Amino acid sequence: MKLFGRINLAGLATFCIFLLLWEGFARASPLLQLYFPPVSRILLSLCQLIFSWELVGHIVATLGRFLRGYLLATLLAVTLGIVLGYFKLAYSLSESLIEFLRPMPSVAIIPVAILFLGIGDAMMVAVTVYACAWPILINTIAGVKNIDRTLINTARTFGLGRWKALRKIVLPAASPYIVTGLRVSLAIALILVTTSEMIVGVSGLGFFILDEERSLRTDNMYAGIFLVALLGYGLNRLFLVLEKRAMAWHRRMTAGEQI
Amino acid sequence: MRLLEVEGLSKSYRQTGGDSTLAVHEISFQVDRREFVSIVGPSGCGKSTLLMCIAGLIPPSSGTVRVKGVEINGPPQNLVLVFQEYNRSLFAWRSVLGNVLFGLEVRGKISREAEEKACHLIGLVGLEGFERHYPWELSGGMQQRVAIARALAYEPEVLLMDEPFGSVDALTRLELEDTLLRLWKDLRTTILFVTHDIEEAVYLSDRIYVLSRRPSRVLLRMDIHLDRPRNQLSTRSDPKFVELRNEIYRQISDEAIK
C-alpha cells in the first residue's frame, strides 16, 4: 500500500512558494526578525532541538497525553454512544443534557478540571477525553440509530441475543459513522493537549512553545509550532492509512464497485 | 405432533391517535415436516405481519405459534426468516463466506467443518467461486442466494421466507424458484413461503393458504397435486396448474368485490 497515495505536485509547489516568500520577507526586514524569523532559522533550530534531545521529552509527553486521552475517549464514547443509540429510553433521558453540554467550547471545562484534578497529567488527559468524546459520541449515536431494522431482525432470527448483537451487528454496522467521529476527534485531541499544556503544563510541546515565547526565543517557539503541525499531519496520515485498511469494505461499497 | 402450528393468531397495531387496527384476524394453519407451504394474499394484507409473528420477531395480540408442540416466545431456535430486502439483510462488512458462517458462529461452531459446510452450501446455491466477494459486489439475485445459503447453513427446521423473490427481475425469479425447489428436495427441509404472486405459490407449493384483504383471515386452503419435479415450462402450461391459479384468483377478486 502506498503511504502517501498520489502526490499533489501543484499543491506542494504552492506550499514551497509560501515558505520562500516567508523567508524573503523575514530576511528583508532584520528589525522584525525577533518576532518573525526566516524559515531557514526555524528549521535549523528545530534540527538542533531534536538532535540535542531537548525536544524528545516534550514530544513523548505530548504524545502520551494525546494517546491516553484519545483512546480513553474512544472507549467511553463508543460504548456510551451504542447504548444511547440502541436503547431509546436511555437516549431520551440524556438528550437534553447532551444538547446542553455539546455546544459548550470544551476549553471552558479546563478550570473545572483544574479544580478537581489539580495541575498534572490527569487533568490534561481528562480535558482531552471530554473534548474528544463529543464527536465520537454524536456520530456513534447517529450510526446506531441509522441501522436498518431488517439487519437487527436478521440477527434476532438467527437467535442472536441483544448483547451479542451489539458487538456482532450494531458495532460493525455503525462503524462508518464511528470512524467519521474518530477522524474529527483526532484534531480536537491535539488541540486540547496543546492548550492544556500551555495553561498548566511543565512539559509537552504546548508548554515548550509558550515557554520559549516567554523567554523570547522565537526561533525555538516557531520550531515547536512546526513540530505540532507535523505531529498533527503525521497522526492524520496514520489514521487515514488505518481507516483505509479497516473500512475497505465500506469505501469500496460506497464507491459502487460491482463485478 | 405437527412441526409448525399456528392457532387463532391475531395481531392488531395501535395507531397514532389511540385506535388500533386489526392486521391479522384469527389465522390457523399447520405445516408438516418436509412440506412446502405457501401463504398468498393481496399486497398489504398482513402476510408479513403474520410471518414476523411466526418468526417470533413481534408478539401476536392473541393466539399461539407452536413448533414441535412447544409454544414460542421470542425468536425460536429452529426457525429462520429470509427477508425480501436481501440488500438490507446481508452483512455488508462480511464476505459471502462470512455471511453464510454467521448462523453457525451464533451457535458457537467456528471450525474447519463449519467452513466446509458453508462452502458446500455456497456451491449448492450456485455461487461457487464467490466466497471471498462481498455481498454488495453481487447482483440482486446472487445476493438473495447468499441470504438463502446463510439461512440453510443454520439448519432450521422450518425456513420462513417473506416474498424472497419480490425484488428481483422476472427471469432471475424463475431461476431462483427452481434453485429453491432443488434445495428443498435435496436438503429435505420444510419451507413456509409468503408471496403475493399466485402463480409462484402454485408452482412451488404442496399446499396454499389464501388470505383475504385486511384484516386478513384464511379464505381457503388448497392442496396442490402437481407432479414433481416441477418445470417452468411444462408445469406452468399444465391445465391443472392453470385451473388452480384461476381458482385462487377468482377467490381473491370475489372477496375484493364484496
How confident is the model over A109-142, as pLDDT tens digits? 999 999 999 999 999 999 999 999 999 999 999 9
Which residue would you say has higher pLDDT here, B30 or A257?
B30
Nearest Cα neighbor of A231 from A64, A53, A76, A107 is A64
| Cis? peptide before B215, omega within 30° of 0 | yes
Binary contact (B55, A158; C-beta < 8 A):
no
What nine digits make up the cell of B255?
Answer: 372477496
Q: Which of B106, B107, B150, B167 to substitute to test the interface with A, most A CBs within 10 Å?
A: B106
Residues of A in contact with B81 (CB under 8 A): 153-154, 157
Q: How far is CA A26 from the centre of its chain?
A: 32
What nine digits make up the cell of B184?
Answer: 428443498
pLDDT band at B110 (very low <50, low <70, confident <90, very high): confident
Find the mean pLDDT for residues B232-246.
95
- Amino acid A131 reads A
List of domains in chain A: 54-254 (1.10.3720.10)
Q: Could you report the per-residue pLDDT of A130-183, keeping only the tens digit for each?
A: 999 999 999 999 999 999 999 999 999 999 988 889 999 999 999 999 999 999
How are beta strands B4-14 and B62-67 bridged, if at all?
antiparallel
Which DSSP symbol is given to A31? G
The sign one gets for the Cα dihedral A105, A107, A111, A116 is positive
> Residue A128's CB: how many other CB atoms inside 10 A?
30
CA distance linking residue B100 with residue B128, whole number of Å: 13
The per-residue pLDDT for A259 is: 58
C-alpha distance from residue B258 to each of A114, B244, B250, B252 (Å): 78, 22, 12, 10
pLDDT band at A2 (very low <50, low <70, confident <90, very high): very low
Find the mean pLDDT for residues B56-61.
94
- Amino acid A208 reads F
List of domains in chain B: 1-71+194-258 (3.40.50.300)
Whether A3 shows a pLDDT value over 60: the answer reads no
Size of interface A-B (CB pairs under 8 A): 65
Nearest Cα neighbor of B186 from B134, B229, B224 is B229
Q: How far is CA A179 from the centre of its chain?
A: 12
Residue count (chain A): 259
The sign one gets for the Cα dihedral A198, A200, A202, A203 is negative
CA distance linking residue B228 with residue B19, whole number of Å: 48
Listed by number, the residues of chain A in 30-49 with a beta carbon closer than 8 Å to a beta carbon of chain B are none
Q: How many CA atoms lie within 13 A of B215 on its CB side?
A: 13
CA distance linking residue B99 with residue B109, whole number of Å: 14
In the block, which residue shows the cell 420444510?
Answer: B190
Q: Could you report the per-residue pLDDT of B172-215, keeping only the tens digit for each?
A: 999 999 999 999 999 999 999 999 999 999 999 999 999 998 88
What nine digits make up the cell of B120?
Answer: 458446500
Instruction: Give the ipTM.
Output: 0.92
What nine digits make up the cell of A127?
Answer: 480535558
The per-residue pLDDT for B161 is: 97
**Sequence-separated (6 or more) residues with CB below 8 Å from residue A116:** A123
Whether B21 shows a pLDDT value over 90: the answer reads no
Grouping H, G, I as helix, E, B as strand and the rest as coil, residue A87 is coil
Which DSSP symbol is given to B135? G
Binary contact (B93, A159; C-beta < 8 A):
no
CA distance linking residue B37 with residue B202, whole number of Å: 10
The rounded percent of chain A whose pLDDT value lies above 90 is 83
Interchain CB contact of B129 with A (< 8 Å): no
CA distance linking residue A80 with residue A144, whole number of Å: 11
> Residue B77's CB: how many other CB atoms inside 10 A?
16
Query: What is the residue-averaged pLDDT of chain B?
Result: 93
CA dihedral A90, A91, A92, A93 (to 10 degrees): 50
Whether A6 shows a pLDDT value over 80: the answer reads no
Determine the distance in angstroms separating the CA of B31 from the nearest CA of chain A, rounded to an integer. Answer: 19
The per-residue pLDDT for B174 is: 96
The per-residue pLDDT for B111 is: 86
Predicted model pTM:
0.88
